[in-house]
Amino acid sequence: MENIKEKIEELRKALRYHSDRYYNDDAPEIEDYEYDMMMRELKKLEEQYPEYDTEDSPTKRVGGKADNSFDSVVHRVRMESLQDAFSKDEIYDFDSRVHNVVDSPKYCVEPKIDGLSVSLEYENGVFVRGSTRGDGNIGEDVSGNIKVIHNVPLKLTKDIPFIEVRGEVYMPKKSFERVVDRQLIKGEKPFKNPRNAAAGSLRQKDSEITATRGLDIFIFNIQQVEGVTLGSHKESLDFLQELGFNTVPDYTLVETIDEALSVIDKIGEERGNLEFDIDGAVIKVDDFEMRSQLGSTAKFPKWAVAFKYPPEEKQTKLVDIEIAVGRTGVLTPTAVLEPVHLAGTTVSRATLHNSDFIKEKGIAIGDIVTVRKAGDIIPEVLCVNEHNSNQFFEFPKLCPSCQSPVVKENDEAAIRCINPDCPAQLLRNLIHFCSRDAMDIEGLGPAILETFVDNGLIEKTEDIYSLTFEKIDSAKLEGFKEKSISNIIHSIENSKKNDLGKLIFGLGIRHIGAKAGNLLANHFRNMEAIMNASADDILKIDGFGDIMAESVVDFFNNEKSKELIKSLDENGVNMEAKNVVKDNRFENKTFVLTGTLPTLKRAEASKIIESFGGKTSSSVSKKTSYVLAGEEAGSKLDKANQLGIEIITEEEFMEMVK
């Protein structure tokens, strides 16, 4: 019995962890199917051993906790979860339970959209609030971000006194591909799947960012309504369409459970061709009076069930392994497969993750492998079923794009090319170099840089400073008029005067952010001194660790890096530190900035702190000296109060630096 108790606690701990990663961090580590199977195992154990059943078990919860970044919303109508079914037998069991209570029920069947569940409220036909589901009782107010979703009507076609509807915010597959492409170009960690992309986008503090993500919504339920009487689910969906809502597609009314299963099969066959993700299909009792008779458990309505499609797996032959160099320098292996039909599409390529995965599985060209669509989006090789070769695949020692030696750093699985002039990384490096916190070259945004690269105007970073009005003008590029070209050249010239810290950050040295770039510049004062510094020299800078120091040394030991610096210097780019430390009144003092300051931008406040010998940090700890707080200061302020750290306003801060 003790082993059973330990197993239950082990499952609860794992489920809580993965639930938090899924709902609150938008960064899942396992597939939905694996999570569902763990939850199912826990439910069975709790039913078999009720003495170990507790009210705080993950089986009693709905969704995730409300994020403290947004105001809380108490749902007047609980946003329930659905009971999952994984086989047709379980669907028949659901039908039997329904028939035990009501006679001759009709069912409405609809696809289960894989996104983020939200509530929309309208007063007199006007949108007043949007909130996430949270734990079903308390969610997050995300009204500002909901408003920028183009399919959310801000005014209904009828002035209904009050209506609350429930829908699913999702990211279409095309939008997801665009977002991931932009993340890779910028060197950011890409979203794992559209569901997490949608959740991360809806929780943005800046609605302008949300607006760029291409989110969409399907409405699938009326939570409460005044001034209208509706008798069934299909009737309510038809009514929602009349009001101007984008309702869940292909909802179908059927007479029997066998007809419902046929619709589920049809949805399953088509899911690979849809422009959005689904993770199942939902069967709902159509009649509202019958729903009232059936009622709900503590967590689920008894009048609905969600059929979850299992991830489809197939075996096929591994024909070849191709190595691509990503825009961050990571060498990514891709399996070339004998084509196989999987989850509605023909798959001929799949990810192999990294070199460690290939080594661990002992993968070789010619093997028979199992392939699955991860989250029904990205095909991946799971394992080897049959080895047909003893010659296991070896990762290249040289970059396939530029033939430079590749490295594998201790803190990551990826093998990486660190050549700053690697053609495969050129666009990402250029975007970073020209960005606001780096060389701040206004007018050279991602789209224009891509145009210049495609037309041969820029082949390496230093080519930016070889651009002239005549060179750009003679390329006859669409949309580039005299004024716009002149502005670009002017911005390039201005960037030559930047402080050394901005240049160091712009070089894109691994592990070196904007703050670290300023610390290097202020400590060594010129580029030559930094290039000649040893790791021990760099470690004397407060805030630098072994990995950061080694990364700087490795970068400047690279011959391509030396050539880049030489060329920038010859083109007149400043190589000296301009920041002057006025005095050391903030020496050994660490500031954390939180919220919106009345007049200062965070970057300005940070610069002032550094000019007096202090430093800034992004997180509050016992080592924090002051928390400089503005409006809408969040969890950092709470933690500062808990630790007894002094909290100051902008006015008090300005008094300190007089």
Of 527, 531, 539, which is closest to residue 578 (Cα–Cα)?
527
Q: Which helix (H) or strand (E) holds 559?
A: helix 559-570
Which residues, at least 6 apart from 195, have a Cβ–Cβ distance to it below 8 Å?
A: 114, 115, 116, 170, 171, 277, 375
Contacts of 90 (CB under 8 A, 6+ apart): 305
Distance CA 504, CA 483 (A): 30
Catalytic hit among 106, 112, 460, 515? 112
> Is residue 560 annotated as part of the catalytic site, yes or no?
no
Contact assessment for residue 617 and residue 591, using Cβ atoms and an 8 Å cutoff: yes
At CA 501, angle to CA 498 and CA 507, rounded to 5?
95
Crossing angle of helices 546-557 and 559-570, rounded to 10°: 70
Q: How far apart are CA 437 and CA 184, in angstroms?
A: 18
Residue (of 560, 564, 375, 388) closest to 466 by Cα position: 564
- For residue 526, give the DSSP letter: B
167 near 350, Cβ under 8 Å?
no
DSSP code string of 97-131: HHHTTSSS--EEEEEEE-SEEEEEEEETTEEEEEE
61 Cβ contact partners less than 8 Å away, ≥ 6 residues apart: 19, 135, 136, 299
From CA 222, how far away is CA 112, in angstroms rounded? 16
Reported as half-sphere exposure (CB side, CA atoms, 13 A), residue 611 has a value of 13
Residues 6+ apart with CB under 8 A from 2: none
Report how far apart the first and last C-alpha atoms of the chain are (Å, whole number).
Answer: 69
CA nearest 217: which of 155, 163, 151?
A: 151
Answer whether 245's CB lies under 8 Å from 165's CB: yes
Spatial contact of 116 and 168, defined as CB atoms under 8 Å apart = yes
CA dist 20 → 74, 142, 591 (Å): 20, 19, 30
Listed residue (192, 233, 219) closest to 118, CA to CA = 219
**What single-letter amino acid sits at 120?**
L
Sole residue written with tokens 């809408």: 632
Cα 234 to Cα 107: distance, rounded to the nearest angstrom: 9
Half-sphere exposure of 657 (CA within 13 A, CB side): 21
CB 647 within 8 A of CB 626: yes
For residue 352, which of 333, 368, 372 has the smallest C-alpha distance? Answer: 333
Return the active site residues: 112
